Copies of this chain bind each other. A is one copy, B any other.
Amino acid sequence: MSTATVLAGVPATNLSLYRAIRFKVGDPAALLIVPIAGGATERVLIIRDIEMERAKRHARADRVHCPADFEPAGGLSGDRETATAQSVAECLRRRGVNAVRGDRSLPLIYAHHLLAAGIRVECDPDLGVLERRAKDAEEVAHLREAQSATERAMELACRTVARAACAADGTLVHDGAPLTAEVLRSIIDVALLREGYENPESIVACGAQGADCHDHGHGALRTGEPVIVDIFPRNRRTLYNGDMTRTVVHGAVPPAVAAMHAAVAAAKRDAIAAIRPGVSGDAVHAATLASLAARGFASGQPKETGVAVISHGTGHGIGLEVHEPPLLAPKGPPLVVGDALTVEPGLYALGVGGVRIEDLVVVTPAGCQNLNTLPEGLDWR
């Protein structure tokens, strides 16, 4: 039996395929890792015809073809994705491959056409997962670059809040206009765009809105209330993401918010101290919970007004996707060198709002390295 490995999809959105070939395109493509003589393998990339020359120069593949190079007896479909799947099956058939190992992301249409060509398909759900988790030096450099841009946008955002004027009703004013969540998001977006980043909707959640850890926030920002700012942009060139959170208060910090913040900062420190290869994501999250419990804060959904709890895990893997394995959460797996992780404890209280601090760390042989350098305080004046 001759078995090939197949990754396929649209590289611009199937990041496992993108990572394997390091070549971005918005049309279907497939990477076939095919056995050749002597126990070696050959990497065959099938891609849209007009992308072939660019792919030959830049993609990580030994050979670059287009679907028309592998037209089956019945002809290729006029549908681009179908034709790509047909050509994958025909290419493998010609090479005498009779079984395929697909990764978890393989679109079912590829399995469909492989099976129709008499080629067996098995899913290896672990294929590529550990490989993607263990970031290499180039990827860590991309993450560092992204997090650095994220920090510049964060500093701008927090200072814009902290240095805003304040109207008589307690709402903030920037450049003579109301400083809303929407305005602050736009300031963040433009700053990141100028640095070469696309930026999904940032969280800017003021006061009570922040009690729901996934409310993105809207409307007026107000003095004396915590504003959660969570930014997770993607570098348009490298496709790697940054992700960080700070909480800023304009004016006087309410004592309850100060207490929540002190506990969250300590929990982040304790979680980071727990991170090293072999320790599980579950254990790191337990360290977060123990740290918060020692300061009187429990885990759960915010239910009682004024009672702050942590309502989510400690963090998640990050790389070509903002959310990727592993989780720092119950059942989270053992960490490996190169895992890039957000560490983002938070506390949320109905009627008060939320406090969250999020850094990005990379697991090293001895522990981890924090890619963040910005202060974590509430006061950004």
Chain A residues with a Cβ under 8 A of chain B: 13, 26-27, 50-51, 54, 76-82, 102-109, 111-112, 121, 123, 125, 129, 186, 189-190, 193-194, 198, 200-201, 213-214, 236, 281-282, 311-312, 321-323, 325-327, 329-333
Sampled A-B contacts (27; CB under 8 Å) = A26-B200, A26-B323, A54-B214, A77-B331, A78-B282, A78-B326, A78-B329, A78-B331, A78-B332, A79-B129, A79-B326, A79-B327, A81-B104, A102-B108, A104-B107, A104-B112, A105-B109, A106-B107, A107-B107, A108-B121, A109-B125, A186-B194, A189-B193, A190-B193, A193-B193, A198-B198, A201-B236
Give A179 Cβ to nearest chain B Cβ, in Å.
17
Q: Which of A27, A51, A104, A108 neighbours the largest number of chain B CB atoms within 10 Å of its CB? A: A108
Number of copies of chain A assembled together:
2
Residue of B nearest to A14 (CB): B13
Give A344 Cβ to nearest chain B Cβ, in Å.
13
* Separation of A129 and B13 alpha carbons in the complex (Å): 19
- Are B78's CB and A330's CB within 8 A? yes
* Separation of A327 and B236 alpha carbons in the complex (Å): 27
Taking A26-B321, A79-B326, A104-B108 as known contacts, 17 extra A-B pairs with beta carbons closer than 8 A to each other, sorted by chain A number, are: A13-B13, A26-B200, A50-B214, A50-B312, A77-B331, A78-B326, A78-B333, A80-B325, A80-B327, A102-B108, A106-B108, A109-B125, A190-B190, A190-B194, A193-B193, A198-B198, A201-B236
* Separation of A321 and B26 alpha carbons in the complex (Å): 9
Give A103 Cβ to nearest chain B Cβ, in Å.
7
The interface residues of chain B lying within 8 Å CB-to-CB of A198 are 198
- Are B104's CB and A123's CB within 8 A? no
